[in-house]
Chains A and B, each alone.
Chain A
Amino acid sequence: MTGRYLLAGTHLGVSVAAFGVAAALGLLQALSLADIQFPHRSESLYYTSMTAHGVLMALVFTTFFIMGLGYVLAQENLGRITGRSIAWFAFWLSVVGSVAAATTILRGQSTVLYTFYPPLKAHPLFYIGATLLVIGSWIWGGVIVASYHSWRRDHPGEPIPLPIHGMLAAIIIWYLATAGLAIEVLAMLIPWSLGWMKTVDPLLARTYFWWFGHPLVYFWLLPAYVLWYTVLPKVAGGNLFSDSLGRVVFVMFVLLSVPVGFHHQFEDPGISAEWKLAHTVLTFSVVYPSLVTAFTIIASLEVAGRMKGAKGLFNWIGRLPWSDPFFASVALAMIAFIFGGFGGAINAAYAMNSMVHNTAWIQGHFHVTLGTTVTLTFMGATYWLLPRISGRDLRLRGLALVQPYLWIAGMVLFSTSYHIAGLRGLPRRIYSASLTGEYSQWHGLSMVAALGAVFLFASALSYVTVVAATWLAGRRIPAPAFEFASSLRPPVASIWDRFGLWTSVAVFLIIGAYAYPIIQLLSHHRYGSPPYQPF
């Protein structure tokens, strides 16, 4: 690891380690749900490991990966990281926070799942640790923004490099989203968990949580999109089909990612139907930039295939570099998103949500989206990043190539089973599928899902092994250059680069979507809840 990339590499290392632990816990959960016995299987292990799995995957693996990727993109596209020592401070803050939160989880003091809905109460250090992780990520965002401003002073009037454009969009979404989380945790949960406040309103807390919880998925997805737009076409041997539409897409996410949280609260009392419908309209609007992305990326791949001499209608697909681990991983991630995206549209479909709300369908759904589209993209990106930041050749290349296929195979079994089981009414997050009377109906599907989980774990293990082997024992090579795709038409500076403007519009939309319902909520005669720790 050379000095320039030490910062990014260290973030990546934490991310991969968290992923490995979380994947092992995930396997235990799937086995338990299918009623397969293993040593030390118990209810409390199941719910503890579910909390750890969710927190490590959703908050630690993703956030550290995105922070590391952000530093690489800044280094390569802006030629600088402004405030490296502050960046290291942010790293250690995030590590200390993650370790503190994880410790209280593993000690069984914070079995509240990654959604930590009150009045379930975790150990105060759980909330404080999570807060430190988020503050660390805020500082990271500040470092990237400062690097951009420094670059801008040297390059007035130039278009923002597209990878940075997408990363800035992700950072803006992150700030807007975590504002909701900050209100929930700082004003409600920390004082309440310390006993300074007797009660909290669970619905108000849930509302702030989902202000954060849905845009969180775009904070994961946008860095993946950055890789699709700016790295994938290059690896495929072609050009980006449309740079300007990429910018439009990133700006649309800035505008529409946050004011959509009520689609997670369709079945909640206390929020009126009109506002749920308003958030439904906004939720369907945020599907749009992904539909545009689908065209642009597939067109870019077709360009690549044709540049390699493909002539027919579809034979460009065969000309793509399927034997490159990055390409294979990202291509499979994109295919998964076709299914994940339409599943998401079903969840968001207002009254239809009651068919799937909190059933196994939901865990089936987000394992296709976060668990495949984002995860496979990040895994593939690791194979692309690692030789470039460490100056070591990828070890066990064959394993790296098999790994994404193993993941997809596992996910087809795992996710399809849970989608079906959910439609038949299997509640989510249960220790065992042997609910009274319905055992036979759900047992078969949960067994198939458990088999899928075995494949997924094998894939995760392969990934961690390849990363560790490369890091520790990869052959030293001159580090390959970071290369980003150029677009068919050269990028131009435009209104889509004006993030100050778009952030103001986004804030306006958030106020429009949330101010009235929250004021309405606060104006009821409300009764708070004291803390409970039934674990």
Chain B
Amino acid sequence: MKVEFYEKVWMCAAVGLLVLFLGTIVLTAANDAVHPPSHVETVDPMALANNPEFGNPAVTVHTDGSVVVSVVTTMYSFSPDPIVVPASRPVTFRVTSADVLHGFQVVGTNANAMAIPGYVSQFTVTFKKPGEYIVGCNEYCGVMHHNMVGKLIVSKESE
């Protein structure tokens, strides 16, 4: 197969470009553990009320100082709401749905995950800037989907 010189140059450059893109992704994933939320854990969506964690979803500060936020999404609200967390500390979100698919997106941050009934989404975020953030559902969940909005308050660290 005959390939023209300039086309060969282009084809090599295209390989280089993709290797650069992929290299950046793989390197940050391997070195800095930059991954999308990929936690694997199942939970019975029909029995969340009796679940020790999701029966009363709340912000828990553990003795070692780590902060865990359990969130249940339902048509058309987030629980707890508002979510209050400290600034500049790793906050681990654990999100599940009691009915259909929902999204859990903290607007203006990279906290963004699917809430899927039967599964627990888990990811850790550090909020540097104290203030009020919008929590929006970004997956269509029914006729009042656009009204599914909550609030996240990042409080100044008091310690």
B11 contacts chain A at the CB level, 8 A cutoff = yes
Q: How far is the CA of A432 from the CA of B146 in the complex (A)?
A: 7
Which of B25, B100, B108, B113 contacts A119, CB < 8 Å? B100
Residues of chain B with a CB closer than 8 A to A2's CB: none
Contact status B42-A526, CB under 8 Å: yes
Binds B, one of A166-174, A316-324, A433-441: A433-441
Residues of chain A with a CB closer than 8 A to B34's CB: 350-351
Q: How far is the CB of A162 from chain B (nearest CB, A)?
A: 14
Contact status B143-A47, CB under 8 Å: yes
Which of A202, A273, A352, A534 contacts B116, CB < 8 Å? A202
Interface readout for B17-39 with A: 1 if CB under 8 Å, 0 if not?
A: 11001100110110000111111
Q: Which chain A residues (512-535) contact chain B, with CB distance < 8 Å?
A: 524-530, 532, 534-535
Contact status B36-A266, CB under 8 Å: yes
Contact status B137-A427, CB under 8 Å: yes
In this complex, what residue of A is CB-closest to B141? Answer: A534
Q: How far is the CA of A427 from the CA of B135 in the complex (A)?
A: 10
Binds A, one of B2-10, B58-66, B84-92: B2-10
Please report the number of residue pairs spanning A and B whose Cβ atoms sit closer than 8 angstroms.
220
Contact status A358-B103, CB under 8 Å: yes
Q: How far is the CB of B143 from chain A (nearest CB, A)?
A: 5
Q: How far is the CB of A297 from chain B (nearest CB, A)?
A: 12
In this complex, what residue of A is CB-closest to B107? Answer: A425
Contact status A527-B112, CB under 8 Å: no
Most buried by A among B75, B119, B140, B144: B140
Number of B interface residues in the complex (CB < 8 A): 65
Residues of chain A with a CB closer than 8 A to B7's CB: 241-242, 245, 295-296, 299
Which of A269, A281, A288, A295 contacts B113, CB < 8 Å? A269
Contact status A273-B36, CB under 8 Å: yes
Contact status B138-A358, CB under 8 Å: yes
Q: How far is the CA of A273 from the CA of B122 in the complex (A)?
A: 12
Contact status B116-A203, CB under 8 Å: yes
Q: Decide yes or no: A358 and B139 within 8 Å by CB, A269-B120, A273-B36, A526-B118 being known contacts.
A: yes
Interface readout for B76-110 with A: 1 if CB under 8 Å, 0 if not?
A: 00000000000000000000000111010101101
B149 contacts chain A at the CB level, 8 A cutoff = yes
A414 contacts chain B at the CB level, 8 A cutoff = no
Contact status B36-A288, CB under 8 Å: no
Q: How far is the CA of A285 from the CA of B108 in the complex (A)?
A: 31
Q: How far is the CB of A233 from chain B (nearest CB, A)?
A: 15
Q: How far is the CA of A93 from the CA of B43 in the complex (A)?
A: 42
Number of A interface residues in the complex (CB < 8 A): 75
In this complex, what residue of A is CB-closest to B24? Answer: A349
Contact status B119-A113, CB under 8 Å: no
Q: Which chain A residues (190-236) contact chain B, with CB distance < 8 Å?
A: 201-203, 206
Contact status B45-A527, CB under 8 Å: yes
Q: How far is the CA of A467 from the CA of B60 in the complex (A)?
A: 63
In this complex, what residue of A is CB-closest to B37? Answer: A267
A270 contacts chain B at the CB level, 8 A cutoff = yes
In this complex, what residue of B is CB-closest to A281? Answer: B22
6 further interface pairs, Cβ-Cβ under 8 Å (given A526-B42, A532-B75) = A269-B38, A276-B35, A358-B112, A425-B105, A427-B136, A527-B45
5 residue pairs, one from A and one from B, having the closest CB atoms:
A534-B142, A425-B107, A427-B138, A358-B138, A430-B146
- Give me 30 A-to-B residue pairs in the complex whose CB atoms sit less than 8 angstroms apart, sorted by A's number: A47-B140, A47-B145, A50-B140, A202-B116, A202-B117, A203-B116, A203-B118, A241-B4, A269-B114, A270-B40, A270-B116, A271-B40, A272-B38, A276-B35, A284-B21, A287-B18, A291-B10, A291-B14, A291-B17, A292-B10, A295-B10, A299-B4, A350-B25, A354-B36, A358-B103, A424-B107, A435-B134, A524-B42, A527-B43, A534-B99
